[in-house]
């Protein structure tokens, strides 16, 4: 089963076009993992809307929002170790200019922190603090650039601590037994096209084979074939009158046809994804209204069934 395959990994990286709900998919995976008794770290990157309030009620799920500057400062302190010297470095204007200008440095430090979180130990324990780390990466274009950074940094800086860091990150990302890449889309043209392109680019340009493809916000078939035929007949005949609650039949038919169209589009794009990639596919239903804890549990259940 797809969820079982996902939960065998220690690190999951999620990406997809902006607006496809990859954060929600990642949170649903976190809820499903916690239900299996796993201790989960859900990682966001400089997120404007943090997941913490939504996941706060779930036991065994910890959230963190990584800020590039803070991650870089932590790296300096860990390497220098002498607090006075480290403080002078991180407070130096030269250091801040270098951090702002150095290409790919922010991304490398962020990836390093994510990979390092996989083996982070508890204060009084030798075992890793988390069984699973789920990282909500930026949207596909930026996400692909982010994943390319270790290879580029390793080639550009073959020696020294930065080069070693880059090669360590690259090895961890390409370890398919340890790391899984999850591509998220919704049943819309641009989202599916971008996701299919990302799937191929990840293989060709990063050396990562996506572990799973999630088609989110799919509209399920709202009625039987007989009912669909009746809706189309009534629409063709321009049926008049009103329903028992006073809703005009014409308005109800418009809504019904919209639901039929959305369900057909969902099935169309599901078939298109299945033809386009060999990656295992899971579909998740459209959720009307705001995402809450109950919705996350429902989506986690759907993933368990996939």
CATH number at residue 209: 3.40.50.300
Per-residue pLDDT tens over the stretch 260-295: 889 899 999 999 999 999 999 999 999 988 899 999
165 assigned to some structural domain: yes
pLDDT on residue 230: 75
The answer to whether residue 61 sits within a structural domain is: yes
Residue 255, in any domain of the structure = no
Q: What does the pLDDT look like over 214-246, one tens digit per residue?
A: 999 999 887 777 777 776 777 777 777 777 777
Whole-model pTM: value is 0.89
Residue 247, domain member (yes or no): no
Q: Which domain holds residue 51?
A: 2-219+278-305
Render the burial of 5-42: b for 16+ CB within 10 Å, e for the rest.
Answer: ebbebbbbbbbbbeebbbbbbbbbbbbbbbeeeebbbb
Locate 92 and state its tokens. Answer: 């130096």
Asked, for residue 183, whether it belongs to a domain, the answer is yes
Identify whether 190 is part of a domain. Answer: yes
Euclidean distance between CA atoms 235 and 14, whole angstroms: 42
Please report whether residue 229 resides in a domain. Answer: no
Angle at 146 between CA 49 and CA 9, to 5 degrees: 80
How does pLDDT run across 91-129, given as a tens digit for each residue? 888 767 766 767 788 899 999 999 999 998 877 778 899
Euclidean distance between CA atoms 184 and 277, whole angstroms:
13
Q: Percent of the chain scored above 90 by pLDDT?
A: 56
| pLDDT computed for residue 6 by the predictor | 97
Which of the pair, 222 or 8, is modelled with greater confidence? Answer: 8
Distance, first Cα to last Cα, the chain: 7
Total tally of structural domains belonging to the chain: 1
Instruction: Provide the angle, in degrees to the nearest 10, between the axes of the packed helices 93-101 and 68-80.
Output: 120
Distance from C-alpha of 44 to C-alpha of 54, rounded to nearest angstrom = 13
Q: Residues 188-219: pLDDT tens digits?
A: 999 999 999 999 999 999 999 999 999 999 99
With respect to residue 197, please indicate whether it lies within any of the assigned structural domains.
yes
């Amino acid at each position: 089963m797809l969820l079982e395959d996902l939960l065998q990994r220690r690190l999951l990286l999620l990406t997809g076009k902006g607006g496809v709900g990859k954060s929600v998919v990642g949170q649903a995976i976190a809820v499903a993992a916690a239900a299996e008794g796993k201790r989960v770290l859900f990682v966001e990157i400089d997120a404007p809307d943090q997941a913490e309030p939504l996941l706060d009620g779930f036991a065994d799920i910890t959230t963190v929002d990584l800020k590039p500057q803070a991650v870089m400062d932590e790296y300096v302190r860990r390497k220098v170790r002498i607090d006075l010297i480290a403080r002078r470095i991180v407070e130096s204007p030269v250091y801040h200019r270098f951090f702002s200008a150095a290409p790919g440095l922010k991304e490398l430090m962020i990836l390093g922190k994510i990979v390092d979180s996989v083996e982070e130990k508890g204060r009084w324990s030798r075992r890793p603090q988390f069984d699973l780390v789920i990282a909500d990466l930026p949207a596909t274009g930026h996400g692909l650039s982010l994943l390319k950074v270790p290879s580029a940094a390793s080639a550009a800086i073959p020696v020294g601590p930065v080069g070693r860091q880059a090669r360590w990150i690259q090895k961890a990302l390409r370890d398919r037994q340890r790391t899984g890449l999850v591509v998220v889309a919704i049943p819309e043209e641009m989202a599916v096209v971008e996701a299919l392109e990302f799937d191929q680019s990840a293989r060709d340009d990063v050396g990562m084979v996506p572990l799973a493809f999630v088609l989110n916000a799919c509209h399920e078939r709202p009625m039987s074939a007989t009912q669909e035929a009746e809706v189309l007949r009534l629409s063709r005949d321009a049926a008049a009158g009103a329903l028992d609650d006073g809703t005009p039949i014409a308005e109800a038919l418009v809504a019904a046809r919209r639901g039929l169209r959305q369900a057909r589009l969902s099935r169309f794009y599901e078939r298109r994804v299945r033809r386009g990639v060999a990656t295992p596919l899971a579909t998740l239903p459209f959720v009307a209204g705001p995402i809450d804890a109950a919705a996350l549990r429902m989506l986690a259940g759907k993933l368990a069934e996939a």
